[in-house]
Amino acid sequence: MAKAPPKARAKTRAKTREKTGPKTRIETGSKTRAKPRASAPRVPPAAGAAPPKPRLGPRPLPLHLGAAAMFWNSSRAVWPLLRSGSLSWRAELGPNAAALQNRLASVDPEAFEAAVARELKHRALALADGILRYRRYPYRRDLADPPALWRRGSARLLDYGAAPEAAAAAAAGPPVLFVPSLVNRAYILDLGAGRSLLRWLAGQGLRPLLLDWGRPDAEERGFTLTDYILRRLEPALDAALAACGRRPVLVGYCMGGNLALAPALRRPDDVAGLALMATPWNFHAGPGCPGRLAQASLSVLEPVMQVLGELPVDALQALFAALDPQLVPRKFVAFAGLAADSPAAAAFVALEDWLNDGVPLAAPVARECLGEWYGANTPKRDLWCIDGRPMRPADLAVPSLHLIPERDRIVPPDSALALATACPGAEIARPHAGHIGMVASAGAPARVWTPLAAWLAARLAAT
């Protein structure tokens, strides 16, 4: 039989690839086989709809790729030293080092080196595959924001009591004012259908209000933390009081808890209570030397902030990556193994989209956080001031609840516990969750949302 011309064969192969999807090469022993990879389902855009904005994450991509390559290749580079017994170990690792040497004593050196090379290649391919799958995934967050009660500058106060799925009583229900961090988008508390703490609370008859800080505008790029509290947070509190006719409970998440503490201390007669979720206070707690790293980072980033007036998103992401440089490679290697149409894959993409949809931080705020909070540990030393007044937790005159997730790697539990133990009569809960998982994971409703709702209902019923 006559063969088809080369161009025809190429077209046939291209059509076949379109039907079967891309392939991942998997090495098994000395042979290599190609296995079809389940690609993300393709969803055609609606007629007349603009094409979706391309994903940029994980941000900053060069940093994450470089960290993965350096870490994985170090495993290969250290093998000759380990094999020869010339590798030096820290004293505390001595027993583990001896056990490892014993395990490797009967291993064929060449076969082991080849196996390491195969594993490194497999992980590199899986990482690339996971990133490509993430960037092509069809999911897009499509929740509409509820009405805004108040606006000033870039900030909005969103009323989840008026959301379509809210309980009928939510619009007139007891108010709860949520204060998120300045360094991430506020919608982590409203991530998606079934994963929205705010909509869930509205379904319980409460009236959640969310202070969405937005992206700093020209005026806000000159803001200090005092400006954010006096010119955004406290006016939002005034708007909540006027709209609801009663005092709200303030709920602060992460850095938002530090900000929410300020009006609770400054204006206790306008606040029914204070709930803090994974809020840092002792910035020198936890493993490593975060204060030293922060001060070193500030000196490097200062020229950028002087030019831009803000700390860029990718610089912030790099600082978070320094807490665990291998977190992103681990996540995306694992994502590459998920079925494309699985709930786990969709949940992963939703969360990564939020992580990569960051906002810059006003330069004066970045200097306060990196230099004063992390560098000088001013909150723990009762030296952090708002409008000249020290923010001392011991002066708190309203009831407080402190939700401190046990698996938090962003805010070490000991850091948040320092604030809880300093607040008079504080109630403390230690859910088995991580920093983001406490508000957005599948287990969050049982572990965090329900206990929080019960405490809020009890507090608001007493006012």
Closest listed residue to residue 168, CA positions, set 126, 204, 195: 204
Closest listed residue to residue 403, CA positions, set 439, 440, 429, 380: 429
Residue 253 maps to a domain? yes
Residue 345 maps to a domain? no
309 half-sphere exposure, CB direction, 13 A CA radius: 9
Residue 456 maps to a domain? yes
CA distance 91 to 208: 53
DSSP reduced 3-state for 383: coil
Q: What is the pLDDT at residue 296?
A: 83
Packed helices 61-84 and 327-336: angle between N→C axes, nearest 10 degrees = 100
Burial of 322 (0-12, 13-18, 19+ CB in 10 A): middle
Amino acid of residue 214? G
**Residue 192 in this model has a pLDDT that exceeds 60:** yes
Q: What is the pLDDT at residue 103?
A: 85
Residue 203: CATH number of its domain: 3.40.50.1820
Burial of 49 (0-12, 13-18, 19+ CB in 10 A): exposed
Q: What is the pLDDT at residue 21?
A: 43
Q: What is the pLDDT at residue 143?
A: 92
Closest listed residue to residue 314, CA positions, set 301, 295, 323, 327: 301
Residue 220 maps to a domain? yes
Confidence of residue 313 (pLDDT cuts 50, 70, 90): very high
Packed helices 61-84 and 313-321: angle between N→C axes, nearest 10 degrees = 20
CA distance 169 to 422: 36
Rounded to whole angstroms, the maximal C-alpha distance in the chain is 91
Place of tokens 């799958």: 133
Amino acid of residue 198? L
Q: What is the pLDDT at residue 51?
A: 59
CA distance 407 to 40: 31
- Mean per-residue pLDDT for 298-307? 94
What is the DSSP-derived secondary structure letter of residue 424?
T
For residue 179, what are the domain limits? Answer: 148-287+360-461
How many CB atoms within 10 Å of residue 28?
A: 8
Residue 382 maps to a domain? yes
**Residue 146 in this model has a pLDDT that exceeds 90:** yes
Give pTM, 2 decimals.
0.85
Q: Which long-range contacts (CB under 8 A, 24 or more apart) does 294-300 make?
A: 294/319, 294/369, 294/370, 294/371, 294/373, 294/374, 294/375, 295/370, 295/371, 295/374, 295/375, 297/370, 298/366, 298/367, 298/370, 298/371, 298/375
Residue 364 maps to a domain? yes
Place of tokens 């006719």: 245
Residue 174 maps to a domain? yes
Residue 109 maps to a domain? no
DSSP reduced 3-state for 26: strand
Structure tokens at 105: 């004593």
On the question of a cis peptide bond just before residue 424, with omega within 30 degrees of 0, the verdict is no
If one counts the domains in the chain, the total is: 1
Question: By percentage, how much of the chain surpasses pLDDT 90?
Answer: 71
